[in-house]
Homo-oligomer: A and B are copies of this chain.
């Protein structure tokens, strides 16, 4: 650093004496890097949309205005599920989305958001940052000229809103449920009928019993959807224990940034991701309190042990198929399973034991 300062001063002196243009380093200190980011979410989408804005604000302030990131929501770019392609092509420098949205295009992107019966938020951050997760994510994304970073965690997602109780595996037969992705595949193996329905039609579909159940996120984002007004059972989660959103960065953009701005961007993304986890936790607590007060009859339910057991078996079978079909998938699935094994033992004797000891009061 001393060397840099020295060089800068020398160049600055030379520039003044010779009445030349501004010195190279000084020019760079003034240079404003303007990055364009596309997000999957609509304008003013709470929590998910706050994370990239929190990130951009930190980056701009820390860089004294040298790093300016503008964010286009889906209302503008019209391609909520085109973020991967747009950032890859350089149409946008960055994206804010979720890795599992790209599984149709690049199957191994599936594993970097959350998995049914997978890790909790602190376990998964441990895997990303201390357990090899970031390296595996790089292995998947680097061949597309993309860098992927954690982009904010929703915490444990609720199992969803149900019109009728699930008391046995029989109750899953033919159950029409809006539940996309890998979890939908798990339920399909057990006889349910997973469907996908646009967000704007979900309320009516559940109200008119076009579907029997649906999952969305949790109280943090379910409140505004209004499902608590029309469904009596709110099931606890199994399918998305720690949904981590994603920041995508075009590698060419990254390489153009000076080292200090790269670190500013890296740290701003990392902090915004953690901050969203805490904000989601907070808003879930606040919004569940509001729901429960307005509708005291809502019943919190957990699936019976044999239903959970069957879901878990189906999930394990699906993972085995994925691992057998692709060596990199196998490497990721094994890494996650090994990490979770150790960290879950710790979770069970720390937070879980603590919470259970208090519940027995």
Residues of chain A touching chain B, judged by Cβ–Cβ distance below 8 Å, are 1-2, 4-5, 8-9, 12, 15-17, 19, 22, 26, 29-30, 32, 58, 60-65, 68, 117, 120-123, 125-126, 129-131, 155-156, 158, 218-219, 236-238, 241, 258-260, 263-264, 267-268, 270-271, 274-275, 277-279, 281-282, 284-286, 288-289, 292, 300, 302-303, 305, 308-309, 312, 342-361
With A32-B1, A260-B63 known as contacts, the answer to whether A342 contacts B68 (CB < 8 A) is no
Give chain B nearest CB distance to A299 CB in angstroms. Answer: 11
Closest B residue by C-beta to A361 = B309
Query: Once bound together, how far apart are the Cα atoms of A26 and B131, in whole Å?
Result: 43
Query: Once bound together, how far apart are the Cα atoms of A65 and B25, in whole Å?
Result: 14
Query: Once bound together, how far apart are the Cα atoms of A282 and B268, in whole Å?
Result: 22
- Identical copies of this chain, number: 2
Of A117, A263, A286, chain B has the most CB atoms within 10 Å of the CB of: A263
Asked if A4 and B64 make an inter-chain contact with CB atoms under 8 angstroms apart, the answer reads yes
When the two chains form the complex, which single residue of B2, B281, B292, B356 contacts A356, counting CB atoms closer than 8 Å? B356
Closest 7 CB pairs of A and B: A1-B65, A236-B353, A156-B350, A64-B260, A285-B346, A130-B282, A61-B263
With A286-B342, A305-B361, A350-B218 known as contacts, the answer to whether A126 contacts B259 (CB < 8 A) is no
* 13 other A-B residue contacts (CB within 8 Å) besides A62-B263, A126-B278, A285-B345: A4-B64, A9-B30, A62-B267, A120-B354, A121-B122, A122-B281, A123-B281, A267-B271, A284-B350, A288-B349, A309-B361, A351-B355, A356-B356
Asked if B343 and A285 make an inter-chain contact with CB atoms under 8 angstroms apart, the answer reads yes
**A155 contact set on B, CB distance < 8 A:** 122, 350-351
